[in-house]
A = this chain, B = another copy of it.
C-alpha cells in the first residue's frame, strides 16, 4: 500500500477509533499526517494526547472544531466563545507536539440560525463579531482560525457560512495567518464561482486546509452522513485539486468522511481504502515537487 505523503487521515473517518488506535492505524499504514478532533483528544486529556501524537511521529493537519457562535449576546454566547478559546489553546499545543510541518489550524463551523427565528442576516453578522473577538487570542497562540463554508443544505441548522466567497469576505479584515478558510470539495463542488474564489483564497494566502470527499445521490436519510470516498461520486477531483495546487496550497490534504457504512467498516480497511482512493483521483493532480 502506498500512501501519498500529503494525505492526512481525518480522525472522523474512523470516528469510533480511540485516539491511540487512530494514531497507530494511521502511522502503521504509512500516513505521515492526521487531522484530530477535540472529543477523542479530550477523552485522554490534552497533555496526554499531545504526548501520544509526539510519540506517533505524525504531523497534525488540523483540529476539528470550533465555531457555533451565532447566538445573540448572553451567557450561551459567552460560553461558546470561551469554548473556542480552549480549542485555540488545544490547537497550539497539538501542533507543537506534532512532527515538523504540523499545522496549527482550528476548523470553524459557524453554527446555524438560532431556534425559532428567521434571523439569517443577524446570525451571519454574529459570525463576523465572533471572529473579531477571537482573532487576538488566535494570533497570540499562533493559531489559524479556518472558516469552513458548509454546503447550503446545512445553512439553517449548522453553518450560516455557505460559500467560499462568503468565508473569504469574513476572513479579509484579519491577517491571513490568523483567519483563513477550509476548502472542502463536498461542500463547494456545486458553486459556479468556486474556482475563481480558490484563486482568490490562494492569492491572499488564506487556504488553511484542503479536504477531499465525494458527493453522490441519493442522499442518506441523515444528510450529515452523505460523504463518500473520492471517486465514488460526481466531483471532478482533478479539476478541483489542480485549482487548489495552482492557488499555491502545499499543505496536507485531509479525507474526512461522515458515512455510517464507512464507520461500520473495520478501521484498517478504511485507512487502506482512503489511501487508494486518494491515489486514484487526487494524487495524479498533485505536482511531483510538492509531494
Contacts and interface: CB of A to CB of B under 8 A. Distances in A.
Interface of A: 113, 117-121, 124, 151-153, 155-157, 162-163, 165-166, 189-192, 215-219, 221-223, 233-236, 239
Given A192-B162, A192-B165, A217 B157 contact: yes
27 contacts: A113-B234, A118-B233, A118-B234, A118-B235, A118-B236, A120-B189, A121-B236, A121-B239, A124-B192, A151-B152, A152-B152, A152-B153, A152-B190, A153-B153, A153-B223, A155-B189, A155-B190, A156-B215, A156-B217, A156-B233, A156-B234, A162-B191, A163-B191, A166-B192, A219-B223, A221-B221, A223-B223
A219 B120 contact: no
The 7 closest A-B pairs by CB, nearest first: A155-B190, A153-B153, A221-B221, A118-B236, A152-B190, A157-B217, A156-B234
Contacts of A120: 189-190, 234, 236
Contacts of A233: 118, 156
A218 B234 CA distance: 24
Contacts of A121: 236, 239
Interface centre among A216, A222, A236 (most CB of B within 10 A): A236
A113 to B, nearest CB: 5
Contacts of A235: 118
A147 to B, nearest CB: 13
A119 B238 CA distance: 12
Given A119-B236, A162-B190, 16 more contacts: A113-B234, A118-B234, A118-B235, A120-B190, A120-B236, A121-B236, A124-B192, A152-B153, A152-B190, A152-B191, A155-B189, A156-B234, A162-B191, A163-B191, A218-B222, A223-B223
Contacts of A113: 234
Nearest to A161: B192
A166 B191 CA distance: 10
A156 B118 CA distance: 28
Nearest to A169: B192
Nearest to A235: B118
Contacts of A166: 192
A128 to B, nearest CB: 12
A10 to B, nearest CB: 22
Interface centre among A152, A155, A216 (most CB of B within 10 A): A152
A223 B224 CA distance: 13
Interface centre among A156, A157, A221 (most CB of B within 10 A): A156
A195 to B, nearest CB: 10
